[in-house]
């Protein structure tokens, strides 16, 4: 796929302060401390930098208005997670999307609103079967279009949800990676070269179960691509100390866009050797909800 055919969707901020009444608390997310209030000046500045950065990258950017129904004046009814548009759907980058079915039920309305938006834009959307307990959240997936491979986490997702998603998107290979990290994109990212080919994997295997760790190593060996295993500092972190979320990146052809440099110096050297430009934009306030670049963007 030529670089300029890729579309990336980003949400604008709500009119009311983003979590101005304090963040909620979701399971398996050590970043979220109930009642934390982000610095709204920095929230706006960082989002503005993100939007400007993507306008300078070789992609088409689609900016969405934040849905009014999620941004009411009554602070008890506000739902401000919509800015993390990644979580709301999984795209095959060919015009078809699977709408997320959330384990965190408070967020399902966001995905339902996103389906209406995507349908109005002319995209074909799918829902998981109502007849089973399948769960799938967009932040648990990375899709590599050239190889037709779908990486899927198993924490907020379950196997049924990942397998149904792979089937609906006609995925050739599904790679399941189980951990206690709430979303796969907090501990893992693929890297794609300027030809849109999968050329590298970066992951905190320390936070994956033993079977997933071996599965990822075997996959990298069969694909003949490097797997760089980084520490929790470059990913989600631990219950005692939050990580930098460096791995929460959006892979674009020839680019890797993330929130900060990796502490592991091997990453930058290998990226440079593969001709990948690592671009960073600080997202300190979004880290308070456990999110960074991958969470705030999604491919169409």
Burial of 146 (0-12, 13-18, 19+ CB in 10 A): middle
Nearest to 146 by CA among 106, 190, 102, 189: 190
Architecture in CATH of 3-299 = 5-stranded Propeller (3.75)
Is it the case that residue 4 has pLDDT exceeding 70? no
Question: Average pLDDT, stretch 44-70?
Answer: 95
Give the CA radius of gyration of the chain: 18
pLDDT digits (tens, 9 = 90+) for 244-296: 999 999 999 999 999 999 999 999 999 999 999 999 999 999 998 889 999 99
Residue 77, Cβ neighbours under 10 Å: how many?
Answer: 10
pLDDT digits (tens, 9 = 90+) for 170-221: 999 999 999 998 899 999 999 999 999 999 999 999 999 999 999 999 999 9
Q: With beta carbons less than 8 A apart as the criterion, state whether 63 and 12 touch.
A: yes
Domain boundaries, the chain: 3-299
In order of 12, 16, 78, the CA distances from 75 in angstroms are 19, 9, 5
């Amino acid at each position: 796929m030529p670089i300029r055919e890729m579309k990336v969707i980003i949400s604008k901020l709500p009119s009311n302060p983003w979590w101005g009444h304090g963040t909620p608390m979701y399971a398996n997310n050590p970043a979220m401390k109930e009642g934390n209030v982000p610095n709204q000046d920095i929230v706006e500045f960082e989002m503005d930098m993100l939007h400007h950065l993507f306008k300078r990258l070789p992609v088409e950017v689609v900016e969405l208005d934040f849905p009014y129904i999620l941004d009411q004046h009554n602070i008890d009814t506000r739902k401000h997670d919509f800015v993390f548009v990644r979580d709301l759907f999984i795209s095959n980058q060919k015009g078809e999307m699977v709408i997320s079915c959330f384990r965190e039920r408070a967020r399902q309305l966001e995905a339902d609103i996103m389906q209406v938006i995507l349908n109005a834009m002319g995209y074909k959307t799918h829902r998981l079967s109502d007849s089973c307990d399948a769960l799938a959240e967009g932040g648990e997936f990375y899709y590599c279009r050239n190889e037709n491979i779908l990486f899927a986490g198993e924490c907020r997702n379950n196997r049924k949800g990942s397998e149904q998603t792979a089937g609906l998107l006609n995925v050739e290979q599904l790679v399941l990676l189980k951990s206690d990290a709430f979303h796969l994109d907090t501990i893992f990212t693929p890297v794609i070269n300027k030809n849109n080919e999968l050329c590298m994997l970066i992951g905190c295997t320390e936070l994956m179960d033993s079977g997933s760790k071996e599965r990822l190593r075997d996959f990298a060996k069969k694909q003949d691509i490097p797997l760089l295993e980084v520490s929790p500092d470059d990913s989600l972190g631990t219950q005692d100390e939050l990580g930098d979320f460096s791995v929460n990146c959006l892979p674009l052809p020839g680019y890797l866009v993330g929130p900060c440099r990796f502490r592991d110096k091997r990453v930058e050297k290998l990226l440079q050797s593969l001709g990948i430009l690592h671009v960073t934009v600080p997202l300190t306030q979004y880290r308070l909800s456990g999110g960074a670049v991958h969470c705030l963007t999604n491919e169409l």
